[in-house]
Amino acid sequence: MSALRGQVIFRSSREVRVLHEGQVFRCDLAGRLRKAGSNPIVVGDWVEFERNENTDVESDGRVLAVEERKVWLSRRRDVGKARELILAANVDQVAGVFSVKKPRIKFGALDRILMASEYMSLPALVVINKTDLGIPDEVEERLSVYPDLGYEILRTSAETGEGLDLLEEKLRGKATVLSGPSGAGKSSLISKVLGIDLKTGEVSEHNEKGKHTTTAVTWHPGAADSAIVDTPGFRDWALWGLEPRELAHWMPDLKKHLHDCRFNDCMHREEPGCGILGAVESGDLDPRRYRSYLGILDSVLERIERDR
Ligand SMILES: Nc1nc2c(ncn2[C@@H]2O[C@H](COP(=O)(O)OP(=O)(O)O)[C@@H](O)[C@H]2O)c(=O)[nH]1
Ligand SMILES: [Mg+2]
Ligand SMILES: [Zn+2]
């Protein structure tokens, strides 16, 4: 029996669901693919699988091999020892999804998601959801730097439908991975855009972070080769794989001034002749983005120290 080709749309410790010509096959993994190790098979991977001839077994088939990944979005795992968590592979773009309130947008997390996207050369956009709750001026002001950096901002409300047509247009024909804190409205937006009914979570008053309702990454196929990948929320979006010395390279507004630094190994903190510090002083660089860089640099260095 010949092998078939399909794409992983879901995986748990027990099974992998593979989409092949519009049909979903629940597959087991060949032994060597089940072995621990980091991210042997992730949502978005293209795989070779075979169907089970034997109808007595519960699964529909078995994954034999995983094709090489072209591109993927990673962050660092929230818990346990330092490990890469690949959110999704073989996507075309990233959308950082945040809400104005409940939970309130954290720009540090947004900047990290954008940096991880730059690192993988994936285009990224910013979705600000829950516009029905109003966007404070201070948030609008902070957001205003992003379009110039190449990140389009979409303002949506899954509640009232505002901005959903434009969101749908931006997602059409592409595979997009959504990442953002729990409760921002990722699953609600996907439900609305694709006309499906995903479980969404209530955000309790005392816990602005919201409940983790989406517990596994899921690839939702849409019309015409489009797909939206839902991912679980996070406590703290931590970067994976980016070298501390190169962090500024992944922030386009900082990168612009790198060639002005006197020293090659400048970390842009208080080194003399730093082009980035100079740009902050002359007003060519948004001081909040610079402070965000410093915060991210600190946390990356701190984690390296802790992992030692
Ligand atoms: N007011 C308001 N609430 C929303 C909106 N979108 C989602 N929610 C609510 O926010 C909560 C979290 O939504 P969910 O889609 O589960 O967020 P996720 O964790 O990012 O997937 C749910 O109670 C939703 O009903 C919105 O645009 N406006
Ligand atoms: Mg969700
Ligand atoms: Zn510098």
Q: Which residue has the tokens 């597959």?
A: 27
Q: Which residue has the tokens 């630094």?
A: 261
Cα 152 to Cα 95, 105, 213, 229, distances in angstroms: 10, 16, 27, 19
Task: Give residue 296 CA to ligand 3 midpoint distance, Å.
Answer: 15
Give the Cα separation of 203 and 182 in Å (integer): 9
Residue whose CB lies within 8 A of the most ligand 1 atoms, among 154, 159, 200, 231, for a mutation test? 200
Q: What is the mean pLDDT of the chain?
A: 92
Report the nearest-CA residue for atom 26 of ligand 1: 130
How does pLDDT run across 107-161, given as a tens digit for each residue?
A: 999 999 999 999 999 999 999 999 999 999 999 999 999 999 999 999 999 999 9
Structural contact between residues 238 and 299, judged by C-beta atoms closer than 8 angstroms: yes
Give the Cα separation of 176 and 215 in Å (integer): 18
Strand 227-230 to strand 175-179: parallel, antiparallel, or no bridges (unpaired)? parallel
Task: Give residue 151 CA to ligand 1 midpoint distance, Å.
Answer: 23
With a 6 A CB cut-off, is 186 part of the ligand 1 pocket?
yes
- pTM here is 0.94
The separation between CA 53 and the C-alpha centre of its own chain, rounded to angstroms, equals 38
How does pLDDT run across 49-81, given as a tens digit for each residue?
A: 999 887 777 889 999 999 999 999 999 998 888
Task: Give residue 157 CA to ligand 3 midpoint distance, Å.
Answer: 40
% of the chain at pLDDT higher than 70? 94
With a 6 A CB cut-off, is 68 part of the ligand 1 pocket?
no
pLDDT band at 33 (very low <50, low <70, confident <90, very high): confident
Q: Identity (one letter) of the amino acid at 104? A: R
Q: Which ligand is nearest to the CA of 101?
A: 1
With a 6 A CB cut-off, is 133 part of the ligand 1 pocket?
yes
Atom of ligand 1 nearest to the CA of 233: 19
With a 6 A CB cut-off, is 130 part of the ligand 1 pocket?
yes
With a 6 A CB cut-off, is 159 part of the ligand 1 pocket?
yes
**Domains of the chain: residue spans and CATH:** 4-66 (2.40.50.140), 72-230 (3.40.50.300), 244-307 (1.10.40.50)
Report the nearest-CA residue for atom 13 of ligand 1: 185
Q: Give the residue-averaged pLDDT of 207-227.
A: 75
202: pLDDT strictly greater than 90 = no
For the chain, the maximum distance between any two Cα atoms, rounded to a whole number of angstroms, is 72
Give the Cα separation of 93 and 151 in Å (integer): 11
